[in-house]
Structure 1
Amino acid sequence: MAKTTSTSINRPNEIISAAIEVFAEMGYYRATTAKVAERANISQPYVFRFFATKEALLVEALKVSFARIQESFQQVIHSAPSEQLEQELITAYSQIMTEYRNEILLQMQAQTIGEDVVVSVMQQGFRDIHSIVFGAFRHAGIEHASQRTMLFLARGMLCNISMSLDLPELMKIDD
């Protein structure tokens, strides 16, 4: 009996993981809850037991993806020396891009979705990341923390484009 409860408790997370994959592969508008259910090995009505709409599922998937970045950055901030902070944040984000590529692709796609609730989640996610990075840079005594934060985030967006289009040359820096 406990196994059933555990499975039931994990189902929303499994559905979100399946949705991230399906949305990233097919795009939000082409993806269906039936495809998400198929990927999660459950019935479509079972998806709706936890998520009233496809949009609600997207919102939760986006929240998961932003939370992963925020948690990773917080871990770096609490452990990296000030002089290595920016590089450690870059390393952490690179690792997320490698291990959770579909989450990054999902965020990139969501930037083009004009639904108010999706726009709101995207805005909040980016505000939170900006706040975390800016606060860490300022606390570390990094000069021009605001400008460095903007450049850090811009570099992250370029990393996303480089990864999604398989154009590593976009990230080459001449020494």
Structure 2
Amino acid sequence: MAKDAAVSVNRRSDIISAAIEVFAEIGYFRATTAQVAERANISQPYIFRFFRTKEALLLTALEVSWTRVIDSFRSVVETATPDQLENELTEAYEEIIQSHKNEILLQMQAQTVQEEVIRQAMQKGFTEVRDMVLEAFTAAGVANPKQKTLIFLAIGMLCNVSKALDLPALMDR
């Protein structure tokens, strides 16, 4: 029974990874669960063993992407010295953009989805990141922590655009 559970967990992860890739490449509205299933090398009905709807799959994919950012930032906040905090947060985000580009592209696309549940998921992710950064900057004694947080988040969004458009000059600091 434990082996079946492990296979099930792995299959669920495979589906989420495939969904992130497909949604990032062609967009949530154009993507189909058949395309996700093909990418995951499973049958389309198998997706629905784990996710009731395509929207539920998107929500889970977004949760995975936000968790990666939040966990990465949390690790930096717990270990960085006050004078290195901003630089290490920036480096952590740049690493995510490099190694998990599709997750960032997924978030960018999800910003335009008007379904309330998707908007709430995006608001939750952004709010959690903003609050974590603001709290870290405040605790580190950064001058004008609210303004610094806003600028940090704005630069992050510019990094996203730079990566999406393959325009590295936007990230040249």
TM-score norm. by structure 2 comes to 0.97
The structural deviation recorded for 1:154 is 0.1
For the residues of structure 2 that align with 1:69 and 1:6, how far apart are their CA atoms?
Answer: 25
Residue identity over aligned pairs, in percent, reads 58
**Which AA in structure 2 matches 1:35?**
Q
Instruction: Measure the CA separation in 2 of the matches of 1:87 and 1:100.
Output: 20
**TM-score, normalization by structure 1:** 0.96
Structure 2 counterpart of 1:14, which letter?
Answer: D
For structure 2, the residue ranges without an aligned partner over 5 or more in a row are: none
Counterpart residue number, 2:30: 30
Aligned length: 173
- The runs of at least 4 aligned residues of structure 1 exceeding 4 Å deviation read none
Tell me how far 1:2 sits from its aligned partner.
4.0
1:134-156 Cα distance to aligned partner (Å, 9 max, x none):
00000001010000000000000
* C-alpha RMSD of matched pairs (Å): 1.0
1 CA distance for matches of 2:20 and 2:172? 29
**Which region of structure 1 is more displaced relative to structure 2, 83-92 or 34-43?**
34-43
Distance 1:36 1:158 in 2: 29
| Per-residue deviation, 1:128 | 0.3
What is the match of residue 153 of structure 2?
Answer: 153
Q: Report the equivalent of 1:110.
A: 110
Which residue in 1 is equivalent to 2:88? 88
Whole-Å separation in 1 of the counterparts to 2:107 and 2:2:
35
Distance 1:115 1:46 in 2: 25
Cα deviation for residue 8 of structure 1 reads 1.0
